[in-house]
Structures are given as structure tokens and as C-alpha cells.
Amino acid sequence: MTALAQSTGFVSLVSAGPGDPELLTLKAARRMAEADVILFDDLASGPVLDQAGPQTELIAVGKRAGRPSARQEHVNALLIGHARQGRRVVRLKSGDAGIFGRLEEELIALTGAGIPFEIVPGVTSASAAAAAAGLPLTRRLTARRLQFVTGADVTGNLPEDINWAAIADPGATTVVFMGQRSFPKLADGLHAHGLPPSTPALFAEAVGHPHQRLVHTTIGELAVMMRNAEVTQPGLILYGPLALRGEKPQSTDPDSTP
Ligand SMILES: C[S@@+](CC[C@H](N)C(=O)[O-])C[C@H]1O[C@@H](n2cnc3c(N)ncnc32)[C@H](O)[C@@H]1O
């Protein structure tokens, strides 16, 4: 038993990365190997679960595990219930657990129940997508801002209160999570707010999985592609002043600006 495990149990909220087990942190792998039980999401499954110890109980709690309406309450109850039995609980979330992962709901539940916990950060699918495509997320002269946004609110539609000025900022790299279905509408809004359809874009599907797909395109072309596309895999959309493949770095000036 590690120093972290206590008689009340302990919950580690662990980031699983995008799916490639080599993108797990050492801490994540260690927590999984030592866990009595792992509660995992659909996107935090597959080969990463091989890190679990031989005695670890694996429990799927994603949408495919059912209970769509009471899912969060059900997960909270499981976390608290297993921890109260004195178990080392790992709650495994895809990418970085703190990004669009409903982490806060679970932190509130654990705090309210008096269960000790830790958060183990990890590799978000956003940085894994950029790395897979050979792109930097920021650029010294043209992309001085980086923003992560969701393309879906709780109803699954484009959020109504979207900050158009921010997401149409030509000086920012924008990463859209959960935005495949709403992208045609988003692209119309971007165009209306001054971002040209020729703006470079990357569609990154199933990053870190064997069937990973990367499409270098523009926001205009991607909107057309997404209009009739069936969404079967997790995907991210990156757009903005993305470096084009083979393009020279913008400056060789050795000043210290990152
Ligand atoms: C609930 S959010 C979780 C994000 C996660 N916490 C992260 O940091 O990557 C799920 C969305 O993340 C993106 N995503 C997660 N894993 C992905 C992957 N392996 N490839 C592409 N997109 C991914 C997709 O936009 C998906 O709809």
C-alpha cells in the first residue's frame, strides 16, 4: 500500500492521455498498477488499461456503459462508495483530466464526502494532435495566443454564448473539442466575424490510436467535409495561423521570446 492510500481510501483522478500508452505519465502508470479499482471512460480505454495491476477491478463508466441521464451522479456514487471501503481508486479520464472532462463535478463530490484525492495531469489530445501533425501550437510572430474551446454545450449544440471575437482572432491558434457536428455552423460564424475560409485548419481524428487520421485543410473546406460526415471517432479541429508543412521558421532572430 502506498503512503497515499489511507483507511478512508484515496482517489487518484488520473489523466490517460489520448490513447497511446506511451503517452501516459510514469505517475499515471504507477497509480494504475497500484489501484484496487479503476473507473474509466470510453475514451480512456483500450491499451492504456494494460497498465492496471493483475488484481485491479476495471469498471467502465462511459456513455456506452449506460445510464446516460444519471451518469455523473452514478460515477460520483461509485467513486465515494469504493473509497469508503478503503480502496485505492483510480478515476481514469482521457487526455488531460482537467480539460473538458467534468473533473469539477467529481472534485465537488469527493470534497463533500471528505474523501482525499489527487489529480494526475497528462497529455491533452490537443498537444498530441499538434505533435502528430508536426505542428507547434504557438508561433513567435503569428500565433501568440492559444485557446481550447468546446464546439458543444450540454445539449450537444454550438454554445449560444460563444465569444466570436475571441474564436475569430486571426492571431490565435484555436483547438475545438467535441466540434465535429457543429463545425459547419461554427465556420459560418467565423467567416461572418472576419476569419477567411482559407484559414489553415487541421482535422485530427483518433489521435494516438492505430486508425489515427490527420487532414491538413482550411476552415472552408473542412466545413464542407463535416457537413455530411458521420462522426464515429473522437476528433479535434485546430485552426488559425498554423505552420504549413515544410514552411521555414518565421524568424531566426535569437532573441529570447518563445
Ligand atoms: C470530453 S472531451 C475530453 C478531452 C480530454 N480531456 C483531453 O484533454 O484531450 C472529449 C473530446 O476530446 C477530443 N479527443 C479526446 N481524445 C481524442 C483523441 N484521441 N483524438 C482526437 N480527439 C480526441 C475530442 O474532441 C473528443 O470529443
Separation in Å, CA 217 to CA 136, 234, 239, 245: 16, 18, 9, 11
In this structure, which topology does domain 10-123 adopt according to CATH?
Cobalt-precorrin-4 Transmethylase; domain 1 (3.40.1010)
The three three-digit cell numbers of residue 164, written as one number: 466570436
Q: What per-residue confidence (pLDDT) applies to 228?
A: 86
Which segments within the chain are labelled E, that is strand? 10-15, 37-40, 57-60, 88-93, 117-120, 145-150, 172-177, 200-205, 213-218, 235-239
Q: Tell me, what's the pLDDT at 1?
A: 45
Nearest CA to ligand 1 atom 7: 95
Looking at ligand 1, which atom is closest to the CA of residue 179? 25
Partners of 170 in beta bridges: none
CB-based pocket (< 6 A), ligand 1:
18-19, 43, 93-96, 99-101, 124-125, 177-178, 204-208, 234-236
Atom of ligand 1 nearest to the CA of 180: 25
- Going by alpha carbons, the residue nearest to atom 2 of ligand 1 is 100
Q: Sign of dihedral through CA atoms 112, 115, 116, 118?
A: negative
Cell of 94: 482521457
CATH ID of 126-239, from 3.40.50.720, 3.90.220.20, 3.30.950.10, 3.40.50.2300: 3.30.950.10
- Residues tagged active-site: 41, 63
The span from the CA of 126 to the CA of 134, in Å, is 12
pLDDT at 90: 98
pLDDT in tens, the chain (258 residues): 444 444 689 999 999 999 999 999 999 999 999 999 999 999 999 999 999 999 999 999 987 655 554 589 999 999 999 999 999 999 999 999 999 999 999 999 999 999 999 999 999 999 999 999 999 999 999 999 999 999 999 888 999 999 999 999 999 999 999 999 999 999 999 999 999 999 999 999 999 999 999 999 999 999 999 998 888 999 999 999 998 765 655 655 556 666
Give distance in angstroms: CA of 44 to centre of ligand 1.
10
Q: Is 102 left (phi over 0), alpha (psi -120 to 50) or beta?
A: left
CA of 129 to the centre of ligand 1 (A): 10
CA distance 198 to 201: 9
In this prediction, residue 253 carries a pLDDT of: 57
Q: Would you state the pLDDT for residue 243?
A: 85
Q: How many angstroms separate the CA atoms of 195 and 219, rounded?
A: 9
- Can you give the pLDDT at residue 156? 87
Domain boundaries, the chain: 10-123, 126-239
Residue among 41, 103, 236, 239 to mutate when testing ligand 1 (max atoms within 8 A of CB): 236
Task: Please tell me the distance from the alpha carbon of residue 122 to that of residue 30, in angstroms, as a whole number.
Answer: 13
Q: Are 218 and 199 in contact (CB under 8 A)?
A: yes
d(CA 16, CA 41): 10
Distance from C-alpha of 174 to C-alpha of 167, rounded to nearest angstrom: 7
Question: Which of 22, 43, 146 to probe ligand 1 with, by most ligand atoms within 8 A of CB?
Answer: 43
Is the Cβ–Cβ distance between 94 and 41 less than 8 Å? yes
Q: Is the pTM higher than 0.85?
A: yes
Q: Is 135 exposed, middle or buried (0-12, 13-18, 19+ CB in 10 A)?
A: buried
C-alpha 215 – ligand 1 centre gap (Å): 17
